[in-house]
């Protein structure tokens, strides 16, 4: 699946999107896999309460299942308007 | 219903005139326009707005459709810019048309409250002192509880 | 602050653009525009608006000044027409500019609530069935209690 | 003083304004004087709860004093906006 990062999550991880092969069943499991990779991921995902997630461009939560998901995005709380 | 996500400036006068022309005898039209405001120290040189192409349009369309249904609007308009903006530039606008003024006002406030916290935009302020992401405010999240 | 009482149509787009241009970095601009709406039977041929020359301007100015003070507005605009209008014509508009969107919205609603019940205008509907003065609504009077 | 009538008050009385010489101390006393004149005044002022009054272009109530007033206006509840 494609994993996208926005705003300071993108800055900490150092890239806007990447292809990730994963068998994670939920967003939370995917986050655990990513945190295990490198320190920059650990830093980006250190406080999940400061993060939001969208699966296939729909806002959801960290318990959401990933079955069939093509795109997962992580970002801080939005500041539109 | 019209939803635009764009980098280019929009023409507030033209958009307002177009919206008013097409409102179909609704009686009440409300517009809200957001303008980049300098900070208190007067040191803001720019506001950079990042967004999530694809999801942004989808989210805005869903929010606008909710407003139309919930407040029985004749029409709704949402325009939101991204990219680099300087103080004084217009960031976004919404417009609502309804038979009753209360509905038109409520719908515009509803759109704004949802845009603030549910549309995938992130603002970054560039000042003389440095750069920083704008933090979401607890009050913006709390504002959603009204609806 | 600008208050206009006039028989002639106003140009919503031009007034909105002028107001936005002069708002001085306020951040949030709200406009409300009232349009003559046909009745449910579709038989309204005209709306005649009578007013009290002299008192009207004074009352609108006082209401606008109250809004500016109470909601810390950077600017406010009120335009209200009188005379004979047909469905689809714009009757009036208000615009407010403030640093915070909630203030801009509240001030526009405050202006509308006061205009409805405290500015000396009287509407008369001319329909295929006859002519009648529009009765003030209890809910319009009640709306003032919010403020 | 000048007495002005608007909307259906103007229609019932049949004129938009007139000069009235009166020693009425309050708006209510002025109304009593006018009602005593002719039936069209009696009709216009039959239900004071349906009327509003302005003295010198300021909204006020029927107890308001008239001392020094130059202009008194009677009209139904307003329907602006």
B55/A6 CB distance under 8 A: no
Q: Inspect the structure and tell me whether chains D and A have 3 or more CB pairs less than 8 Å apart.
A: no
Task: Number of B to C CB contacts under 8 A, please give it.
Answer: 92
pLDDT in tens, C55-85: 999 999 999 999 999 999 999 999 999 999 9
Chain centroid to CA A55: 9
The residue among B74, B85, B83, B92 whose CA lies nearest residue B22 is B74
Check if CATH label 3.40.47.10 holds for domain C2-135: no
* Token representation of residue C28: 């949030």
pLDDT at C24 over 80: no
DSSP 3-state of B89: coil
Which residue of C lies nearest to B116 if distances are taken between CA atoms? C101
- Residue D72 makes CB contacts below 8 A (sequence gap 6+) with D1, D2, D3, D4, D27, D30, D53, D54, D55, D66
- Give C101 to chain D, closest Cα distance, Å: 22
C20 touches chain B (CB under 8 A): yes
Q: What is the mean pLDDT of the segment spanning D42-70?
A: 97
D80/C119 CB distance under 8 A: yes
Output the CA angle A15-A21-A25, nearest 5 degrees. 110
Query: What residues of chain B lie within 8 A of the CB of A81, using their CB?
Result: 34, 91-92, 112, 115-116, 119, 121
Query: What residues of chain D lie within 8 A of the CB of C119, using their CB?
Result: 78, 80-81
Domain span including residue D10? 2-75
Query: What residues of chain B lie within 8 A of the CB of C17, using their CB?
Result: 12-13
Q: What is the mean pLDDT of the segment spanning B57-70?
A: 98
The domain segmentation of chain C, as residue ranges, is 2-135
Q: Which of C35, C94, C121, C124 to mutate to test the interface with D (most CBs of D within 10 A)?
A: C121
Q: What is the CATH number of the domain that holds D53?
A: 3.10.20.30
Considering the entire predicted model, what is its pTM?
Answer: 0.95
- Give B27 to chain A, closest Cα distance, Å: 26
Cα separation, C70 vs C110, in Å, equals: 10
Please report the pLDDT score of residue A74 as a whole number: 98
Report the first-to-last Cα separation within chain B, whole angstroms: 21
Q: Which region, left, alpha or beta, applies to residue B139 given φ > 0 means left and ψ of -120 to 50 means alpha?
A: alpha
* Nearest CB to B54 within list A7, A57, A78: A57
What's the Cα-to-Cα distance from D34 to each of A54, B88, B129, C117, D52, rounded to whole Å? 74, 59, 73, 26, 15
Q: How confident is the model at residue C25 (pLDDT cuts 50, 70, 90)?
A: confident
* Nearest CB to B121 within list A8, A73, A80: A80
Cα separation, D61 vs B136, in Å, equals: 50
C65 touches chain B (CB under 8 A): no
The number of domains in chain D is 1
* Token representation of residue C72: 């810390």
Poorest-pLDDT segment among B136-145, C3-12, C61-70? B136-145
C25/B35 CB distance under 8 A: yes
What is the predicted ipTM? 0.94
How many beta carbons lie within 10 A of that of residue B45, not counting itself? Answer: 13
How many beta carbons lie within 10 A of that of residue D51, not counting itself? Answer: 16
Q: What is the mean pLDDT of the segment spanning D11-38?
A: 97
Query: What residues of chain B lie within 8 A of the CB of A54, using their CB?
Result: 52, 55, 120
* Nearest CB to C117 within list D54, D75, D77: D77
Mean of the per-residue pLDDT values of chain B = 95
Whether A53 maps to a domain, the answer reads yes
pLDDT at D71 over 80: yes
DSSP 3-state of C123: strand
What's the Cα-to-Cα distance from B66 to each of B107, C104, D33, D70, rounded to whole Å? 9, 23, 59, 55
Please report the pLDDT score of residue C22 as a whole number: 82
pLDDT in tens, B9-42: 999 999 999 999 886 678 999 999 999 998 888 8
Q: Check if the beta carbon of residue A53 is closer than 8 Å to that of residue A73.
A: yes
- Give D45 to chain C, closest Cα distance, Å: 17
């Amino acid at each position: 699946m494609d994993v996208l990062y926005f705003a300071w999550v993108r800055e900490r991880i150092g890239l806007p999107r990447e292809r990730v092969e994963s068998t994670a069943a939920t967003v939370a499991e995917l986050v655990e896999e990513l945190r295990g990779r490198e320190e920059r991921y650990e830093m980006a995902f250190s406080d999940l309460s400061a993060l939001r997630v969208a699966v296939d461009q729909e806002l959801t939560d960290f318990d959401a299942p990933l079955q069939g998901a093509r795109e997962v995005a992580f970002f801080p709380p939005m500041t539109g308007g | 219903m019209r939803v635009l996500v764009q980098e280019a400036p929009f023409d507030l006068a033209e958009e307002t005139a177009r919206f008013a022309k097409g409102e179909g005898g609704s009686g009440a039209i409300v517009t809200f326009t957001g303008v980049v405001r300098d900070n208190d120290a007067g040191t803001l040189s720019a506001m950079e707005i990042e967004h999530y192409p694809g999801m942004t349009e989808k989210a805005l369309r869903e929010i606008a459709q909710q407003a139309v249904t919930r407040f029985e609007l004749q029409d709704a308009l949402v325009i939101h810019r991204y990219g680099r903006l300087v103080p004084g530039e217009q960031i976004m606008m919404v417009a609502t048309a309804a038979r009753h003024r209360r509905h038109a006002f409520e719908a515009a406030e509803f759109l704004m409250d949802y845009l603030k916290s549910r549309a995938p935009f992130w603002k970054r302020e560039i000042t003389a002192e440095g750069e920083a992401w704008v933090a979401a405010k607890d009050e913006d999240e709390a504002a959603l509880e009204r609806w």
